């Protein structure tokens, strides 16, 4: 039975081609009911195509999309329990706020009564904290307020899935951060499934419960924000989801000893095929000190740049034989290293367990 499904959205071996261009290839995906999924990846990786196939604006070339256990192939957009919020909101400029929000409800068949429409519009505007704005014209609203009108319009007919296509892209940084928190709160309150498309890793990590990292039409990793950040499946994910330092290395014949380009050796912590390898290391996993510390691994280097960011600082350090490293320090470690500057000698200390080792062919 359809309602017995615990997955709100399911992709079964979905491929979509536009003529000679294959936009997504063999996607398998399960999104539990009430989850907040982010489709994250660079431009052209197929995120929007996946979103549009859930919405019914595109049909798969192969495979099946299911919503709440029902196969959706051939079901038109207006028949799906889904609504979409677009990047540029697509509000009607000649309608006021309440008229914009009511629009979808007025089109519904069987007809929804006028009193019920008013009640639901008021409720949706309250949910997005625009209670007093019903009669305002759209051009009298700020960018963030227009975004909330678009959200109210999308939730007013109570879809079971809400699709969001880069909904915060047009907002400035401060407003975007505020809206990230609001969207997450709204999703928790409504309890409906959200699918967000974004190329901004910070946005995906801060809002979603599940992050689907994509590249070139395929899923590279699916996991919680912590999983994709702390245990990237491959070098692409390590690079795309956050910053990373790449250290060239060789996996020795025993499949366990990693020899770095400067000659130092360490245990890789996992078995890999012998040959060229890359060790990825997060900038915040490195501790910068003036004196060599006994614990963990340590490299000696020279600071080439320092960027002071207020609550944190970024350093570029050149290590002979290994190249350039990016290091981020929070305020407490900054006072410890007294804000070392360009030209100064430093030590880069880290726990070898913080290295993520991949075959170089995986780059
Ligand atoms: P962006 O972040 O730039 O929106 P995206 O990850 O959402 O990118 P898609 O829009 O899904 O990527 O596009 C995936 C691939 O499919 C791209 O190569 C794109 O050029 C192609 N594509 C998308 N829509 C069409 C179309 N209607 N006709 C032909 N090719 C298309």
Q: What is the mean predicted confidence (pLDDT) over 3-18?
A: 86
Strand partners, 349: 287, 298
The string of DSSP letters for 305-348 reads EEEE-SSEEEEEEEETTTEEEEEEEEHHHHHHTT---TT-EEEE
Q: DSSP class of residue 140?
A: G
Residues 2-236: name the CATH superfamily: P-loop containing nucleotide triphosphate hydrolases (3.40.50.300)
Q: What is the mean predicted confidence (pLDDT) over 293-300?
A: 83
Residue 50 CA: nearest ligand 1 atom is 11
The Å distance, Cα 21 to ligand 1 centre, comes to 9
Q: How far is CA 203 from CA 39, 132, 208, in A?
A: 11, 29, 8
Contact 349, 295 (CB under 8 A): yes
Comma-separated ranges of CATH 2.40.50.100 domains in the chain: 243-362
Select from 196, 232, 351 the least CA-distant residue to 284.
351
Ranges assigned E (strand) in the chain: 7-18, 21-32, 36-40, 62-67, 70-71, 82-85, 161-165, 193-198, 210-215, 218-223, 245-251, 257-260, 265-267, 275-281, 287-289, 297-308, 312-319, 323-330, 345-350, 356-359
The Å distance, Cα 18 to ligand 1 centre, comes to 9
- pLDDT tier, 175 (very low <50, low <70, confident <90, very high otherwise): confident
Q: What is the C-alpha separation between 149 and 125, in angstroms, rounded?
A: 7
HSE toward the beta carbon, residue 195, CA cutoff 13 A: 28
Q: What percent of the chain has pLDDT over 70?
A: 96
Tell me: pLDDT of 295 over 80.
Answer: no
Give the residue carrying structure tokens 């047009």.
170
Give the residue carrying structure tokens 């939730």.
155
Tell me: pLDDT of 15 over 50.
Answer: yes
Q: What architecture does CATH give domain 243-362?
A: Beta Barrel (2.40)
Q: Ligand 1: residues whose CB is within 6 Å?
A: 18, 21, 23, 41, 43-49, 199
**6-10, 74-78, 197-201, 281-285: range with lowest mean pLDDT:** 6-10
Nearest C-alpha to atom 9 of ligand 1 is from which residue?
46
For 250-282, the pLDDT digits (tens) are 999 988 899 998 888 888 777 778 999 999 999
Q: What is the mean predicted confidence (pLDDT) over 87-100?
A: 87
The Å distance, Cα 260 to ligand 1 centre, comes to 39
The Å distance, Cα 152 to ligand 1 centre, comes to 28
Residue 217 CA: nearest ligand 1 atom is 14
Q: What was the pLDDT predicted at 336?
A: 62
Q: What is the ipTM of this complex?
A: 0.96
User: Distance of alpha carbon 297 from its chain centroid, rounded?
Assistant: 32
Q: What was the pLDDT predicted at 129?
A: 87
The DSSP element (H or E) to which 239 belongs, if any, is helix 235-240
Q: What is the C-alpha separation between 62 and 76, in angstroms, rounded?
A: 17
Q: What is the mean predicted confidence (pLDDT) over 156-179?
A: 87
Tell me: pLDDT of 148 over 60.
Answer: yes
Residue 24 CA: nearest ligand 1 atom is 14
Nearest C-alpha to atom 7 of ligand 1 is from which residue?
48
Q: What is the C-alpha separation between 315 and 307, in angstroms, rounded?
A: 6
Comma-separated ranges of CATH 3.40.50.300 domains in the chain: 2-236
Model confidence, pTM: 0.89
Tell me: pLDDT of 4 over 80.
Answer: no
The larger pLDDT score, comparing residue 323 to residue 179, is at 323
Q: What was the pLDDT predicted at 346?
A: 93
Q: What is the mean predicted confidence (pLDDT) over 302-312?
A: 91
Tell me the pLDDT of the chain averaged across its residues.
90
């Amino acid at each position: 039975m359809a309602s017995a499904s615990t997955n709100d959205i399911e992709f079964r071996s979905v491929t979509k081609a536009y003529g000679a261009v294959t936009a997504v290839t063999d996607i398998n995906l399960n999104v539990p009911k009430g989850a907040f999924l982010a489709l994250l990846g660079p431009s052209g990786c197929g995120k929007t195509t996946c979103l549009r196939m859930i919405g019914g604006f595109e049909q798969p070339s192969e495979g099946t999309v299911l919503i709440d256990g029902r196969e959706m192939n051939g079901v038109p957009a207006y028949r799906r329990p889904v609504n979409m919020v677009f990047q540029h909101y697509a509000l009607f400029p000649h309608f006021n706020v309440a008229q914009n929000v009511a629009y979808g409800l007025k089109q519904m068949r069987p007809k929804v009564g006028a009193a019920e429409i008013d009640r639901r519009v008021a409720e949706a505007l309250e949910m997005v904290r625009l209670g007093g704005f019903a009669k305002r014209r759209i051009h009298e609203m700020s960018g963030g307020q227009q975004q909330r009108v678009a959200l109210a319009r999308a939730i007013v007919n109570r879809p079971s899935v809400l699709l969001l296509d880069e909904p915060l892209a047009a907002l400035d940084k401060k407003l975007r951060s505020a809206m990230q928190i609001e969207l997450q709160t709204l999703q928790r309150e409504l309890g409906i499934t959200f699918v967000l498309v974004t190329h901004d890793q910070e946005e995906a990590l801060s809002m979603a419960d599940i992050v689907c990292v994509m590249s070139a039409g395929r899923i590279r990793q699916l996991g919680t924000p912590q999983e994709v950040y702390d245990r990237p499946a491959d070098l692409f994910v390590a690079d795309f989801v956050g910053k990373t330092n790449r250290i060239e290395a060789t996996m020795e014949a025993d499949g366990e000893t990693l020899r770095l380009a400067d000659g130092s050796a360490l245990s890789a912590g996992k078995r890999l095929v012998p040959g060229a390898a890359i060790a990825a290391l997060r900038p915040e996993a490195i501790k910068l000190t003036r004196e060599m510390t006994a614990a963990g691994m340590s490299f000696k280097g020279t600071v080439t740049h320092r960027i002071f960011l207020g609550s944190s600082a970024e350093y570029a350090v050149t290590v002979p034989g290994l190249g350039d490293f990016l290091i981020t320090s929070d305020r407490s470690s900054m006072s410890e290293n007294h804000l070392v500057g360009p030209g100064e000698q430093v030590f880069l200390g880290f726990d070898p367990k913080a290295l993520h080792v991949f075959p170089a062919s995986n780059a």
